[in-house]
Chain A
Amino acid sequence: MNGERKEFVRFTLGRRVEHLLLLLTFAVLVVTGIPQKFHNAAWAQWLIAAMGGVEFARHIHRFSAILLGLGALYHLVDGLYRLLVKRQAFTMLPRWKDVTDVADTLKYFFGLISRPPQFDHFNFRQKLEYWAVVWGLAIMGGSGFILWFPVPAARLLPGRIIPVAKVAHSGEALLALLAIVVWHLYNAHLSPMVFPIDMVMITGKLSEQRLREEHPLEYASLVEPALKESPAVESDISWIAIVLSGITSLVILSILGALLWAGLRAQVSYP
């Protein structure tokens, strides 16, 4: 192995296809769904009209939801197979260390400790993101089906479940969108560490240097089993990345903030 160029497989092709499906369906669901939430705002009404009307937007929304649901189902079956049959480790499972990692990271941010905590295969940011998607899918899928099939839903459950589902679908939608923009967009794109894009989800591979830096515990277990903790190697980030990522973040936040502001402020126009 030539140390410099060695790469570690992090995401198999299947996982990357799953991610692509999630990315595309999520985007379509946001574009067709969020304007329905902010139906009083002019931009939302314009967007719905531009898509050919609310009925068509709903068809697309439900079609994307089915695709995403199938992807989720595949992920669940595949995950259970890996865990129960192939007996692979459940590396995504939150552990107590994740809690202390959050605390240590905050301490590091404030300069209370000199080095960030060392992470294993998945760090707490990634676990938070993953479980947020699981939670979101459950809420959105469940409430979405109730809204899609209100009559059968009311046959099994109290009728009030329908307006509750509507509020939950609407609230969770905004929460998911904001979480994706703030958390995922930063961690995968806007952080100066990876700006403009973390290629790991495209290539599926992580360089040895990054693995050692970002997942030292995993690196240690893979490459230097004898070593409990590998020394952190800090890669230098460029000023260009810092400045550009900062500007891009502000632009994205401003646009989203303006739309959100207009959406939340918009009142029904009285006759």
Chain B
Amino acid sequence: MGHRITRLMYPCLKTGLLVVLVVILPWPAITRGAPQTQPPVPHELVGREDCLACHGTDGLEPVPADHEGRDNNTCLSCHAEPTEVSIETIADEDCLACHGNSDLNVTLPSGEVLSLYVDEEAYATSVHGRELLCAACHRDFKPGVHPAVRAHDLRDFSLAAYAACKQCHPHEYEKTLDSMHALALAGGVREAAVCTDCHGAHDVLDPHQPRQRISQSCAPCHDVVYQDYLESVHGAALYEESNPDVPVCTDCHRVHNVWGPDVPAFRTYSPRLCGHCHADQTLMAKYGLSTAVFRTYVADFHGTSVQLFENQPDTRPNEAVCFDCHGAHDIRPTDDPESSVVRENLLETCRKCHPNATANFPAAWVGHYSPSPEKASPVYYTNLFYIVLTASLIPALMGFVVLDYGRLVLDKIARRGTKK
């Protein structure tokens, strides 16, 4: 028995001695050997899992010589992960050292010359200038990584670059996907506006101030419309009087999910669009304009029909809406002799939809008036006739029916009485 115990004790003691010698005694030295004071990783790690690609001995920023032999898996044992993404490792000065040169450009395969110049002044005064460093938008650029321009032509470059905006402005970006511009882009129209076409790239300014800037953003592509707008009652008030009440492009066409008359629902809802201001009593009172225009339009055949199309947003209403008669971008005051709705021009306006209309025809439209003894009196009196006739005849007929019913019941009761 004793033999057996000593034979078991021996290996146990041997193992214990080994543990004491190898682990416990040198423990302070082990912990000291891996101090937690090493600098944290100064950049984000996503997409940069291969540390030694940059920090290898032949890399851009090689590790210290005593790190030799360590692999990617050991770095994070000592160097803490960054607590927040820091892009400050690439200073704007580094970029501007080259891109501040106004001659810097690259010739694209299409033969077009892409300027790579960034106006430092313009960027500094832009909305981003004080907030964002170059690398915040140009995320392909990392310490030591400077991708080449791959665009085939200038438009290619813009169409790839504007994706940077959605990193910080995802809601606006998503709304643009529901726009006429996105629709055109998907249909192969590469010129269709993307973020930078309206807002600019490095020189992004507050799009709302001054208010004139909003419509100016649309002008480079929609110049004909813009010129019409400048001469319209709305555009003139904005540009000549800085009147903030008048609509700019985006008030009617929306901002990022831009729509227009090619969308059936735009046409259907356009009277409400105009009515938004023109049925507003406080606003219209400032200009002495009638707020009855929306109500009287809906009461008329055109408006009634269009209103009933509201339940079918995908069907294009075939009846006249506000801008068919009044004009859209070139809308003029109704007392302007060139207005499409003054008496002299009305027949021509009617003929846009009713090509065979004759001189009598425009009188079919009673204007934006509710018929009264003074205005459109035949309409007023016809309506009155039917109100009086219906309100007198129908109760009379009902009274007669009730009397008839009552007589039948009374007769029945009377007969019952005689039977008894």
Contacts and interface: CB of A to CB of B under 8 A. Distances in A.
A110 B272 CA distance: 56
Residue of A234, A236, A271 most packed against chain B (CB within 10 A): A271
Contacts of B298: 39-40, 268
Nearest to B409: A242
Nearest to B305: A54
A271 B311 contact: no
A54 B309 contact: yes
A248 to B, nearest CB: 12
A179 B393 contact: yes
A151 B357 contact: yes
B390 A171 contact: yes
Contact of A160 (B308, B378, B393, B411): B378
A49 to B, nearest CB: 4
A154 B358 contact: yes
Interface residues of A, number: 55
Interface stretch (A9-17, A73-81, A185-193, A220-228): A185-193
Contact of A150 (B361, B387, B390): B361
B405 A246 contact: yes
Interface string B257-274: 000000000000001110
Interface in A232-246: 234, 236-237, 239, 242, 245-246
B295 interface: yes
Nearest to A108: B407
Contact of B408 (A110, A170, A237): A237
Interface in A252-271: 268, 270-271
Nearest to A171: B386
A160 B364 contact: yes
A100 to B, nearest CB: 16
Nearest to A236: B415
Contacts of A171: 382-383, 385-387, 389-390
Interface stretch (A20-28, A88-96, A161-169, A203-211): A161-169
Contact of A39 (B308, B315, B371, B397): B308
Contacts of A40: 298, 307
B378 A154 contact: no
A155 B350 CA distance: 14
Nearest to A175: B390
Contacts of A242: 408-409, 412
A53 B310 CA distance: 10
B279 to A, nearest CB: 5
Contacts of A164: 378-379, 382
Nearest to B296: A268
B415 A192 contact: no
A160 B363 contact: yes
A163 B364 contact: yes
B302 to A, nearest CB: 11
B399 to A, nearest CB: 10
A109 to B, nearest CB: 4
Interface in B401-417: 401, 403-412, 415
Given A159-B360, A160-B364, A271-B275, A234 B371 contact: no
Contacts of B378: 160, 164
Residue of A46, A48, A170 most packed against chain B (CB within 10 A): A48
A45 B305 CA distance: 11
B132 interface: no
A106 interface: yes
B315 to A, nearest CB: 6
A134 interface: no
B379 A163 contact: yes
Contact of B364 (A154, A174, A192): A154
A224 B104 CA distance: 120
Residue of B354, B385, B408 most packed against chain A (CB within 10 A): B408
A155 B275 contact: no
Interface string A61-94: 0000000000000000000000000000000000
Interface in B285-336: 294-295, 298-301, 304-305, 307-312, 315, 318
B164 interface: no
Interface residues of B, number: 61
Contacts of B386: 167-168, 170-172, 174-175
B100 interface: no
A45 B394 contact: no
Contact of B405 (A167, A170, A192): A192
A104 B176 CA distance: 77
B398 interface: yes
Contacts of A161: 364
B179 to A, nearest CB: 22
A182 B406 CA distance: 15
Contacts of A54: 305, 308-309
A22 to B, nearest CB: 19
Nearest to A147: B301
A3 interface: no
B363 A158 contact: yes
User: Which 8 pairs show the lowest CB-CB distances between chains A and B?
Assistant: A171-B386, A159-B363, A271-B272, A162-B364, A49-B311, A54-B308, A271-B275, A109-B403
Interface of A: 36, 39-40, 45-46, 48-49, 53-55, 106, 108-111, 147, 150-151, 154-155, 157-164, 166-168, 170-172, 174-175, 178-179, 182-183, 186, 191-193, 234, 236-237, 239, 242, 245-246, 249, 268, 270-271
Given A167-B379, A179-B393, A242-B412, 19 more contacts: A53-B308, A55-B315, A151-B354, A159-B360, A159-B361, A163-B365, A163-B366, A164-B378, A166-B301, A167-B382, A167-B383, A171-B385, A178-B394, A182-B398, A246-B405, A249-B405, A268-B295, A268-B298, A271-B279
Interface of B: 271-273, 275-276, 279, 294-295, 298-301, 304-305, 307-312, 315, 318, 354, 356-358, 360-366, 371, 376, 378-379, 382-383, 385-387, 389-390, 393-394, 397-398, 400-401, 403-412, 415
14 contacts: A45-B308, A45-B310, A53-B309, A53-B312, A53-B315, A154-B361, A154-B364, A158-B363, A160-B364, A160-B366, A162-B364, A168-B386, A191-B404, A234-B411
